[in-house]
A and B are shown apart, each in its own frame.
Chain A
């Protein structure tokens, strides 16, 4: 039975204006979650973050480390409330007294916690977080006084659907992986519960998110970064082989140092004639999220994507230029019929197999609703050009692809 909404629009407007409501945010130690937590704090919202402790650090230590990375002023840090818990557990693993208090005092829920692995080997973990974890959060939302549910989903709930992907619930049963499937199921779960319970639901569907477009800063280095990192690793590996070990093995592989000092890596990457990868920077995602949250009071479903996807050939060219590599080239599938794949190509394949569907994306993600709000606020998605690539990769190398993220100056 459909309930009436838990809060009227004028009241919601007022609460938002006064910033009097408490926002309960999950996934606060994740890439998008911590960016959102920080931005919400900066905007003056009261934020309460659910954080898991792990064997190395308590929930508080984990989150503090991240917030320090953002250089969050103490006055804002003091405003954040950290709740130790785990979305995969009953009552979110929250201590009973705190749980009771949260039920009473939570106004809005921002659900960012998600397992974003595309690997079928991680199916169980993906389902545990994206389905069971979501169900637990939805149970919380049902029992609480909350009136808005903000669900961070993905543009790829579209699964294998071709053509135009509208900003509405997807009815589909063909997916590229468990991640897509669980995110799609999750949207339906959230929709059902929110509708039944009278919560205002907003679903945010980003495409593939990379670092900050102006600073290059990032907290994760998978997706876009990983193949670049691997190419660089192989480049350095063979350069060392040539310089330290005489280079016989490099020669066998067809790797050599060119006269200008660049390294020739014989590496073909399979691409399609059309399509590319849809990349958005994290700053664009955050700006879009806040705009949608503040403007779309009725809720809805919104694609936060780049209207111009990036061709893999461009990324190969950027990588080759920045890291002084030659020999890496985009190929069609049929090119591999005459010369079978070498070890480097097999290594790339192993990883790229899960990213393949996103590297040859020809779909159009509808942005009518989202676009209208973003235009109103003057928010546009930058093109992933060479300059941004350089900024992002330089930052990645500065922090050694994440291992030196939390050392001073990074």
Chain B
């Protein structure tokens, strides 16, 4: 018997793969790192339960094992709640119960036959690392992206070495079976599906730090979080993507962009060398004289250069005095102007203009609180946008001189730990009715106000933990007692709160490179995204904007939010896309500096100059 509530929760999995990295120091789902298939992680179990509820798969040998290996330890509840607010343990319980009942009733367990192709795959990788079990296949068949339908692969294979990758690719060529490679990080764009073979690189997780050459050798199954952890231990930083995204896959796909793109750039700026297996099974490195020219950029959708088997990533130095600093603004144009000026003057490292939606969502441990803060920041404090920078002492001094009112790390910590008390009816009313001549945030940013703010907010792990479910409070108190949870530099390097953007609904991010000196173009892009979304009644909001290349260009994110399980919402996004594509292509054709990230996908290794200055 399917538990309807659990099935509904299962369908809501965002596929951000945060349950595959130990970002809260809770440890990982025990079966995942042992078995490597995504099916053995909470994300996979969610998909499997959803598939069962939809009668898409039978109870298979692997499914029984997957259910059986779940210990109901509760780690996934903590991890998933932190990101999405969901509680997957209910789904895990329902899955186990379903399988137990199924077995109790002496029903048949489906055991897929091993065909000749699978046999050859297993010969390459070992028996355990290739499968055609439907319960495993289904966890590689779908993601929340509404514009791509479900595609069941015939096989999933987990190579352990570059040579195995090459051998598998040769085999697929020989038998003319299509394949797709996935690093096995988050999957939200509907790109990594095939009716043939999925190569999951999750077993290839080696990281080697070479401090003398300022680089890290990374295999394709390594996630951003894992690489950053290793680099951080050695006193370095890497420009990485979202924590669960695989490093190599993300570079190949998007070029990897973040707020650090301000100083570290994107695409070819990120690596020293990369190793690929091409579509004929031949290995090449970018530094080979005869390697294909991956650094060029063509303004069209192209396939990737092959399957990445190693990336040699740049390591960047850190100084002991880096801290986060936030500069509040009521107006977008002024915030953009300020961020541009910082970039032009080479002030700050990571840099971005953030909207109130991002700020509130990042800071709040619950959806309810995020919704409230999203209103309170603009309406009560006058903060519609924040320019965020990671900066050393000298740069922070410069920023303070330039901006006047800033939220420094001490104040930000206070606000973060006291956030639930900002949502106080009386305080809000008093602030809302304040008739000052300057925005309330100017008062908030004064050092002399801090003692009063401490009494108002009572900042503490206990205060912020008050925003979550009772049974999770002790965990959150412990979590927020960890210094890194209040360290904006750490949070921005490891990006563990950025996946909260999909907490309320699945997020569809539109990313556009823009000319930063043309605010009218930027405003037009924001306005048009907003208009299209509003016409189709889709939730939408400005995401962020990060200056690049000394403030000449920037990357802009605008986000749409949909319930990916709702057919009406899917239809709306279909219709919206019909308008977005021609408009954005037209704009890019006539406006220098505008490039939609869609065309960078799979050309992520190219030189950024080739797409920023077309």
Report A's interface with B, CB cutoff 8 A.
117-121, 221-222, 226, 229-230, 233, 237-238, 241, 245, 249-250, 252-253, 340-344, 346-347, 350-351, 353-355, 401-403
Contacts and interface: CB of A to CB of B under 8 A. Distances in A.
Contacts of B382: 121
Interface string B447-464: 011111111101000000
Q: Counting chain A CB atoms within 10 Å of each CB, which of B433, B448, B455, B458 scores highest?
A: B455
A351 B449 contact: no
Given A253-B452, A353-B436, 17 more contacts: A118-B435, A119-B435, A120-B437, A121-B438, A226-B435, A230-B430, A233-B427, A237-B456, A253-B455, A340-B448, A343-B451, A343-B453, A346-B446, A347-B443, A350-B443, A354-B435, A355-B435
List of 5 A-B pairs having minimum Cβ-Cβ separation, nearest first: A343-B452, A350-B436, A120-B437, A350-B443, A354-B435
Q: Secondary structure at chain B's binding surface: helix, strand, loop or mixed?
A: helix
Contacts of A253: 451-452, 455
Contacts of A121: 382, 436-439
Contacts of A347: 443, 449, 452
B415 to A, nearest CB: 16
Nearest to B443: A350
B448 A342 contact: yes
Interface string B567-594: 0000000000000000000000000000
A343 B448 contact: yes
B429 interface: yes
Contacts of A401: 429
9 contacts: A121-B439, A233-B426, A237-B455, A343-B451, A347-B452, A351-B435, A353-B436, A402-B429, A403-B429
A398 to B, nearest CB: 15
A349 to B, nearest CB: 9
Contacts of A119: 435-437
Contacts of B456: 237
* Interface size classification for chain B: 20 to 34
A341 B24 CA distance: 43
B305 interface: no
Nearest to A341: B448
A252 B434 CA distance: 26
Nearest to A234: B452
Interface in B443-499: 443, 446, 448-456, 458
B430 to A, nearest CB: 6
A401 B426 CA distance: 9
B450 A343 contact: yes
Given A230-B430, A343-B450, A344-B452, A222 B443 contact: no
Contacts of A117: 435
B440 A250 contact: no
Interface of B: 382, 425-427, 429-430, 433-440, 443, 446, 448-456, 458
Contacts of A120: 437
A120 B382 CA distance: 14
Contacts of B452: 253, 343-344, 347
A372 B458 CA distance: 58
A399 to B, nearest CB: 12
B448 to A, nearest CB: 5
Q: Counting chain A CB atoms within 10 Å of each CB, which of B427, B435, B438 scores highest?
A: B435
B204 to A, nearest CB: 53
A221 B432 CA distance: 12
A302 B435 CA distance: 27
B458 A350 contact: no
A117 B435 CA distance: 7
A343 B436 contact: no
A403 B427 CA distance: 13
A241 B430 contact: no
B613 to A, nearest CB: 38
A350 B429 contact: no
Nearest to A401: B429
A341 B446 CA distance: 12
A385 B443 CA distance: 33
Contacts of B434: 226, 350-351
Given A346-B443, A347-B443, A249 B435 contact: no
A342 B455 CA distance: 14
A250 B455 contact: yes
Given A237-B456, A241-B455, A245-B458, A350 B448 contact: no
Contacts of B438: 121, 350
Contacts of B429: 401-403
Nearest to B452: A343
Nearest to B447: A343
A118 B438 CA distance: 11
A301 B426 CA distance: 40
Nearest to B449: A343
A118 B458 CA distance: 32
A341 B447 CA distance: 12
Given A245-B458, A346-B446, A233 B430 contact: yes
Contacts of B443: 346-347, 350
B454 to A, nearest CB: 6
A250 B454 CA distance: 10
Contacts of A118: 435
B455 A229 contact: no
Contacts of B436: 119, 121, 350-351, 353-354
Contacts of B440: 350
Given A343-B449, A347-B452, A222 B433 contact: yes
A117 B430 CA distance: 15
B459 to A, nearest CB: 11
Contacts of A355: 435
Contacts of B451: 249, 252-253, 343
Nearest to A241: B455
Nearest to B456: A237
Contacts of A351: 434-436
Contacts of B430: 226, 229-230, 233
A351 to B, nearest CB: 5
Nearest to A118: B435
B538 to A, nearest CB: 19
A241 B455 CA distance: 7
Given A229-B430, A233-B426, A347-B449, A249 B454 contact: yes
B359 to A, nearest CB: 20
A250 B430 CA distance: 20
Nearest to A220: B433
A351 B453 CA distance: 17
Q: Counting chain B CB atoms within 10 Å of each CB, which of A120, A351, A354, A355 scores highest?
A: A351
